[in-house]
Structure 1
Amino acid sequence: MEDNRTIPWQQGTWTNHPSSIKEQDGSLTVEAQAQSDYWQKTYYGFERSSGHALLDVWPLDRAIEVGFLTDSFVEKYDQAGLMMYLDNQNWIKAGVEMNDGVPHIGAVVTKGHSDWSLFPVPDWAGRQITIRASYFEGAIIVRAKADEGAWQTIRVSEFPKQDNQTLQAGPFICSPERACFTTTFVKWASCEKEDDLHAEIPK
């Protein structure tokens, strides 16, 4: 059986405090501030560190999973998922984002400049999404699934760190285009890590 350890919401620290937070029955419903985002320079030229990430130290011998609901994703750039954070110039956010009226699964890898990859998942609309990250020898492996479906690998990214640097991880939410975007996080857990990129995820 998988060694799955729930991380209490109160254990994390917000990078920026959201508009509102409500904890109920083990879930956390979060409303983002308007025009909140994480982005660095590439293409758009702007620098944003106003998004909301609830972070705790990531023990790298463990995987991290965040689960959330997508029934409220309706407007352009509504987004939530898992943030992996070293500092404000080095981070990865991975999750679901509305783009051209369709939910997309994707990741933004930032090492001074942001690199965005995504693909449409229209059949994931309104479902519970889980994002999972594992760290292997200077690389982060990101996977995702809808409900109890199969895991899909969505990004393999170099992400080196120095021995004295601490990686953090946890749920994030951003609302670059509007006010009142809310989502509910249903899981934040430290999990048994798979052996390598091609190994089956522990169940």
Structure 2
Amino acid sequence: MSENPKHDVRIFDRFTWTNVPRSHAFLNDQTLLIETEPQTDFWQRTSYGFRRDNGHSLLTRVEGDFVLTARFEFSPVYLYDQCGLLVRLDEENWIKASTEYENADISRLGSVVTNLGYSDWATTDISSEIRTMHYRISRKGQDFIIESSYQGVEWMQMRMAHLHRETESLQVGVYACSPQNSSFKCQVDRLVLEEAAN
């Protein structure tokens, strides 16, 4: 799954990598493959004490309210392997939505909201047999609705959240990481970024 510049079609023309993975590929105008590197994560301080801001993310800058959706297929192999959507102001203020692998039986469908350098983590246990998930994040001012769907049709609200640092401009897109000494592969497609309806 190494990059092949001759065949890559950059489906995200306005998107740029932060912490680019060594192995990734744009298969066509719809699909991105990522293979994570070990010891990568997004987390700030809470409970565990550490700070890590080196996960792989492909982001674009947006102004104002938006709705961001994408579909993910994933094959996690080790604790906390994850991929999903990311909304980012800076290292200490951001939101992510994903499924984090726990063990062969359960994974954590959840979201992390990081405000002023402290992360939280809200989760629901789901079967680790689930390897496909759609996510949607909608912004209205400083408030966000985070949702998930198994098919991309019926959406389940995961949470409402608020970013405390006021800003008009944010970076949004997709991310993947492997916090432990491991690596896994995921696929992203059906990404849509649009203005929120009034």
Q: TM-score, normalised by structure 2?
A: 0.86
Number of aligned residue pairs: 186
RMSD: 2.0
Partner of 1:64: 68
8 A Cα contact 1:55 1:169, kept in partner? yes
Q: Give the match's secondary structure for 2:169.
A: coil
Partner of 2:16: 13
Partner of 1:171: 174
Report the Cα offset of residue 61 of structure 1: 3.1
Q: Give the match's secondary structure for 1:121.
A: strand
Report the Cα offset of residue 85 of structure 1: 0.1
8 A Cα contact 2:65 2:141, kept in partner? no
**Distance (whole Å) between structure 2 residues aligned to residue 194 and residue 98 of structure 1:** 34
**Distance (whole Å) between structure 1 residues aligned to residue 11 and residue 85 of structure 2:** 15
8 A Cα contact 2:15 2:60, kept in partner? yes
Report the Cα offset of residue 21 of structure 1: 1.0
Q: Which range is displaced more, 35-44 or 91-100?
A: 91-100
Consecutive unaligned residues of structure 2, counting only runs of 5 or more, are: 1-9
Question: Match for 1:122: what amino acid?
Answer: S
Are 1:39 and 2:32 an aligned pair? no
**Distance (whole Å) between structure 2 residues aligned to residue 48 and residue 74 of structure 1:** 21
Consecutive unaligned residues of structure 1, counting only runs of 5 or more, are: 1-6, 196-203
Partner of 1:53: 57
Q: TM-score, normalised by structure 1?
A: 0.84
CA, structure 1 residues 79+123, in 2 after alignment: closer, same or farther (shift >3 Å)? closer
**Distance (whole Å) between structure 1 residues aligned to residue 128 and residue 150 of structure 2:** 9
**Distance (whole Å) between structure 1 residues aligned to residue 77 and residue 128 of structure 2:** 14
8 A Cα contact 2:147 2:159, kept in partner? yes
Deviations 1:123-157 (A, max 9, x none): 76123x11111112321111110124520000111
Q: Give the match's secondary structure for 1:119.
A: strand
8 A Cα contact 1:77 1:97, kept in partner? yes
Partner of 2:124: 119
CA, structure 1 residues 14+47, in 2 after alignment: closer, same or farther (shift >3 Å)? same
8 A Cα contact 1:9 1:28, kept in partner? no
